[in-house]
Structure 1
Amino acid sequence: MAEQKPINPILKQVLELGPPLAFFLIYMAIRDETYSFLGTDYSGFIVSTIAFVPLMLGAMGILWWKTGHVSRLQIFTAFMVIFFGGLTAWFNDERFFKMKTSIVYGVFAGLLGIGLVQGRSYLAYVMNDMLPMKPEGWMILTRRLCAGFAALAVANEIVWRTMSTDLWVKIETFGFPIALFVFLWLQIATLQKYLIESEQDR
Structure 2
Amino acid sequence: MAEQKKINPMLKMALELGPIVLFFLAYTRLRDRTFDIGGQAYDGFIVATALFIPLIVVTTLILWKLTGHLSKMQIATVVLVVVFGGLSVWLNDDRFFKMKPTMIYTLFAGVLGYGLLRGQSYLRFVMEEMMPLQHEGWMILTRRLALFFAGLAVLNEIIWRTMSTDAWVNFKTFGLTIAIFAFFMAQGKVIQTYSIPEDADRT
Per the shorter chain, which TM-score range? over 0.9
2:110/2:146 contact within 8 Å kept: yes
Q: Deviations over 1:115-152 (max 9, x none)?
A: 11111111122222221111111111111111100000
2:137/2:190 contact within 8 Å kept: no
Q: What amino acid does structure 2 have at the position aligned with 1:121?
A: S
What residue is the counterpart of 1:34 in the other structure? 34
2:88/2:95 contact within 8 Å kept: yes
Matched, 1:106 2:106: yes
Q: For 1:82-121, list aligned pairs within 5 A.
A: 82-121=82-121
Q: Deviations over 1:15-54 (max 9, x none)?
A: 1110000000000000000001111100100000000011
2:71/2:126 contact within 8 Å kept: no
Name the stretch that deviates more: 54-63 or 151-160.
54-63
Structure 1 residue ranges without an equivalent (≥5): none
What residue is the counterpart of 1:127 in the other structure? 127
SS at match of 2:186: helix
Q: What amino acid does structure 1 have at the position aligned with 2:51?
A: A
Q: What amino acid does structure 2 have at the position aligned with 1:199?
A: D
- Find the aligned partners of 1:35 and 1:116 in 2 and give their Cα distance: 48
What residue is the counterpart of 2:146 in the other structure? 146
Aligned residue pairs, count: 200
TM-score by length of 2: 0.94
Q: What amino acid does structure 2 have at the position aligned with 1:62?
A: I
Name the stretch that deviates more: 2-11 or 161-170.
2-11
What residue is the counterpart of 2:188 in the other structure? 188
What residue is the counterpart of 1:52 in the other structure? 52
- Find the aligned partners of 1:120 and 1:63 in 2 and give their Cα distance: 28
- Find the aligned partners of 2:188 and 2:80 in 1 and give their Cα distance: 28
- Find the aligned partners of 2:90 and 2:137 in 1 and give their Cα distance: 45
Q: What amino acid does structure 2 have at the position aligned with 1:32?
A: D
1:190 offset after TM fit, Å?
3.8
Q: For 1:163-174, list aligned pairs within 5 A.
A: 163-174=163-174
- Find the aligned partners of 1:138 and 1:11 in 2 and give their Cα distance: 28
Structure 2 residue ranges without an equivalent (≥5): none
1:109 offset after TM fit, Å?
0.5
Q: What amino acid does structure 2 have at the position aligned with 1:188?
A: G
SS at match of 1:36: strand
SS at match of 1:35: strand
What residue is the counterpart of 1:161 in the other structure? 161
TM-score by length of 1: 0.95
Q: What amino acid does structure 1 have at the position aligned with 2:84?
A: F
> Sequence identity, in percent?
55
1:66 offset after TM fit, Å?
2.0
